[in-house]
Structure 1
Amino acid sequence: MNRTITFPDDENGDVLRRMQANGDDLLKPRDIDFTVVLPDEPAALSFSAQFSAHGYQVKVNESGVVDSLPWDVVVVKHMAPTHSGITQFEAALQAAASAFAGRNDGWGCFEQ
């Protein structure tokens, strides 16, 4: 039996509410992909090296989805999708990305 969790009224809360409404068990840990967009390959490689050094799986790709920030770095974190956990990790990613003129560009995971 899943219990209903209340989330703050923000973008992360909106996503978590939709996941919960679809029957996702938000108490189950899973890999969550956090995407950060950066302006060039050297920035993407330097940013990714910081998280790789801390044991995170990272993927670097020139996607061009964001014209001014065409390089994507996906940092994978295994965790339960909690609002506080996601928000805190996004803050850590943003702090690191700011040094390279980058920014967060969302997160996603498979439903459990």
Structure 2
Amino acid sequence: MNMESIPKDADGMSLINLREHGSNLSKPMEIDFFVAVPNPEIGALLKPLIEPLGFECSLEQDEETSDWTLYCFILVIPAYATIIDIQKRLNDISNPYGAKSDGWGTFGNASLAGELFKADS
């Protein structure tokens, strides 16, 4: 993947950081996409709408802020266009319910990975 062609926004910089820390961006990696939901009922409603797209989802509440997040995990090759497309599809599904895509995170696929790389929307 040509690093010069990746935009320097939050998504692009996260991909560049992944590459710089040893992840291979041409190989699949586990990525969690975050969907901010207004309440657990909306999260429970969205989960069966999103999972058929190849995601495994879990609904969790942040202990500090009490905010609800639907974590949507997928194994995917992390191309910039793919990341943007997934966030758009998640927004298309969740926006009518007052929810929204709220970034993504991954530990990458480097053998010594352990640092979470996160892009916030």
Selected match of 2:100 from 89, 100, 103: 103
Deviation at 1:35?
Answer: 0.6
2:11 and 2:90 mapped to 1: Cα distance?
A: 15
Residue 24 of structure 1 aligns with which residue?
Answer: 23
Query: What is the aligned length?
Result: 108
Deviations 1:74-112 (A, max 9, x none): 111111111000000000001111111111221111222
The alignment partner of 1:99 has SS state of helix
One-letter code aligned to 1:73: L
1:5 and 1:103 mapped to 2: Cα distance?
A: 28
Using the size of structure 2 for normalisation, the TM-score is 0.79
What are the ranges of 5 or more consecutive residues in structure 2 without an aligned counterpart?
110-121
What is the identity percentage for the equivalent residue pairs of Structure 1 and Structure 2? 21
Using the size of structure 1 for normalisation, the TM-score is 0.85
Aligned-CA RMSD value: 1.8
The alignment partner of 2:49 has SS state of helix
1:76 and 1:27 mapped to 2: Cα distance?
A: 18
Deviation at 1:66?
Answer: 5.7
Residue 50 of structure 1 aligns with which residue?
Answer: 49
1:63 and 1:4 mapped to 2: Cα distance?
A: 37
